[in-house]
Structure 1
Amino acid sequence: MLKKLFKSLRSPLRRAQHIRSTPEVLTDHQHSLSRGQLSRNAVSVVDRLQKAGYQAYLVGGCVRDLMLGITPKDFDVATSATPEQVRAEFRNARVIGRRFKLVHVHFGREIIEVATFRANHPEGDDEDDNLSSRNASGRILRDNVYGTLEDDAQRRDFTINALYYDSGTGRILDYAKGVHDIRNQLVRLIGNPEQRFLEDPVRMLRAIRFAAKLDFDIERHTAEPIERLAPMLRDIPAARLFDEVLKLFLAGQAERTFELLLDYDLFAPLFPAAAEALEDNPDYSYELISLALANTDERIAQGKPVTPAFLFAALLWPALPARVLAQQDRGLPPIPAMQEAAHELIAEQCRRIAIPKRFTLPIKEIWDMQERLPRRSGKRADLLLENPRFRAGYDFLLLRESAGEQTGGLGDWWTRYQEVSDSERREMIRNLGSREEGAAPRKRRRSGARRKPAGSAPAAE
């Protein structure tokens, strides 16, 4: 059915194209960009390719961001030279990719990405494994059909990314009214939105990312099919979705991104268990995730490090307590119940988003600390304080409390414990009493005296 839909859209796409055959040209007197704002290495790549007889331009996000007064994170170049021709011009170049061949030109720590002008895929190319191919839904599996500058502008995703800057002449070439959309703060797809999303469903996430990053609106025709096509994200390789999710949440606008993902029904295909928890316990789940993302944005704005492990721990946490309780109902003690539930939840999530082991292990340790932090009698508090995951676990405890979870003052206790002297710490431990909530379980327990799972509030001390 999706294949029929895709084929039926091919003809409308051509009628819907709003690419100019001749671009609008902005001279250096009509825009604010200057050669001095650019990466010297990027300018060097453009100059060298042009001197070798090729067309070459700075393209996409760097042009868009400079027009908005934003410092670009990187600089990309589009050229008429093939990857092999680019590599022949630069000893420090390397061809990468199979689905989409690119050249990386290395200048120390800076990499200038160079792409050959691409064209749209000709009818009947689906079986040509050497050019490009699509799956049954129309998703592009390979994209190495080269073309002209006009072709390249036509196949780019959004109008605001179809701007070409000639660093030699200072001109901007605008084939898709991208300058108009920048001025009107709109994220607009080039061509028929439904087909463009079918070609690559990740474009839906890119629309969200640009809208959040730039504080733009998604143009209404672009926005219309998103909710309907959102389930197609389930067909995207889990490894690719991991990269896209990091781009979404580590760009400094994570809280706004979360809101947009919910508005367009794109959160559930990415985080199905968390989406279910948002429905079951909306106030707490929404508050906890929003607070974690706001904190992430604040740290990025301050130039502080952010770990994806803490981010994923927060996004998935609302789905965990019910699973811990289910494991305890099977007879597992609290800590093993937490560990088993965590393993199950992360395994499910990794089938959708391939979170690497270097992050899944810290996620489990952060969650495990939530079950251990109430257990402070004897030497346990000092041992926990020395644990390398203590700080992350403690910060996560404070996050839970900020979201409205009642922990009987556990966060305040640990805050004070870190600040006082050794003698005062001993007094704090003595004041807990021998029957503190969360103490290690006895070997024999009375029936029905089940402990509360992580995510529920320990009794007041």
Structure 2
Amino acid sequence: MINRASLQQAFDLLDYLKGRGVEAIIAGGCARDIFFGVKPKDIDIIVVDSSMETVGLLLAEANVAAVGFHMYRGEETSDRIVGGYKLSGADIDVLVYRCHTVSEAIDAFDFNLNQFAIVDSRNGIDGAYVRFVGKHHWGQLVAVREDASASRRGRMFDKYIDLIPRRATAEPVNEAPVGGADGVF
């Protein structure tokens, strides 16, 4: 389970990567869970327009211990994910996407329910927001990619059924604070 300290660690690493010219964002399940008022179990930092080698060197330069992994053993079988790094002692993954922009990476997520991102992270936890950035509103579960397995579809449906009542509203809401008086952290 992620706490404020681990989220701050992810924000710090995100700022470090961006400061070194790497385009990156915290997006996916972590951002989605915060939006719905649930403490996330892990954090994914999405990196684009970079290589595994560059990210590995930057992590080493920052004295961040991590174990690298390739999603497809280095083969060009994925149209989006190359691999990533699991930080040692933290529930934080740095995922390297084969995309040129973070928007392109988020558009390639499998379900709209995952198309949430933390924005304004440079303002700290209390100044950051989670924003829904998908094309199909989160009020209805939509498979953005058709290549999701049946088990993945089932897990996403269960997640949808669990989360939607937490943010039920008469008007569409597409943004929520990360911290502060109304945020999870």
* Cα distance in 1 for residues equivalent to 2:130 and 2:161: 25
Amino acid at match of 1:48: Y
Amino acid at match of 1:98: M
Change (3 A) 1:79 1:210: same
Change (3 A) 1:212 1:173: closer
2:84 to 81, 91, 103: 103
Deviation of residue 84 (structure 1)? 1.7
1:187 to 132, 141, 152: 141
Q: Where do 1:297-316 residues align within 5 Å?
A: none
* Cα distance in 2 for residues equivalent to 1:67 and 1:172: 6
Deviation of residue 215 (structure 1)? 5.2
Map of 1:214 onto structure 2:
163
Q: Where do 1:162-241 residues align within 5 Å?
A: 162-166=115-119, 167-169=121-123, 170-172=128-130, 174-177=132-135, 180-181=137-138, 184=139, 186-190=140-144, 196-197=145-146, 199-202=147-150, 203-214=152-163
SS, match of residue 187 in structure 1? coil
1:159 to 112, 115, 134: 112
Amino acid at match of 2:59: F
Q: Where do 1:45-444 residues align within 5 Å?
A: 45-80=13-48, 81-91=50-60, 92-99=65-72, 100-108=81-89, 110-117=90-97, 145-166=98-119, 167-169=121-123, 170-172=128-130, 174-177=132-135, 180-181=137-138, 184=139, 186-190=140-144, 196-197=145-146, 199-202=147-150, 203-214=152-163
Deviation of residue 205 (structure 1)? 2.3
Amino acid at match of 2:87: H
TM-score w.r.t. the length of structure 1 is 0.28
Amino acid at match of 1:72: P
SS, match of residue 92 in structure 2? strand
Deviation of residue 62 (structure 1)? 0.9
Change (3 A) 1:102 1:85: same
SS, match of residue 13 in structure 2? helix
Higher relative contact order (CA closer than 8 Å, sequence separation 6+): 2
Contact 1:87 / 1:94 at 8 angstroms: preserved in 2?
no
Map of 1:40 onto structure 2:
8
* Cα distance in 2 for residues equivalent to 1:105 and 1:44: 16
* Cα distance in 1 for residues equivalent to 2:11 and 2:66: 15
Change (3 A) 1:73 1:206: same
Contact 2:67 / 2:88 at 8 angstroms: preserved in 1?
no
Change (3 A) 1:157 1:50: same
What's the CA shift string for 1:43-72, capped at 9, x where partnerless? 122111011111221111111111111010
What runs of 5+ residues in structure 1 fail to find an aligned partner? 1-35, 118-144, 191-195, 217-461
Contact 1:165 / 1:173 at 8 angstroms: preserved in 2?
yes
Deviation of residue 37 (structure 1)? 7.9
Change (3 A) 1:67 1:175: closer
Contact 1:105 / 1:114 at 8 angstroms: preserved in 2?
yes
Change (3 A) 1:105 1:90: farther
TM-score w.r.t. the length of structure 2 is 0.65
* Cα distance in 1 for residues equivalent to 2:156 and 2:6: 25
* Cα distance in 2 for residues equivalent to 1:67 and 1:215: 11
Map of 1:385 onto structure 2:
none
* Cα distance in 2 for residues equivalent to 1:106 and 1:46: 13
What runs of 5+ residues in structure 2 fail to find an aligned partner? 73-80, 166-185
Deviation of residue 212 (structure 1)? 4.0
Question: What is the percentage of aligned positions where both structures have the same residue?
Answer: 22
What's the CA shift string for 1:116-135, capped at 9, x where partnerless? 23xxxxxxxxxxxxxxxxxx
Q: How many residues align?
A: 144
* Cα distance in 2 for residues equivalent to 1:106 and 1:38: 11
Q: Name the structure where strand makes up a greater proportion of residues.
A: 2
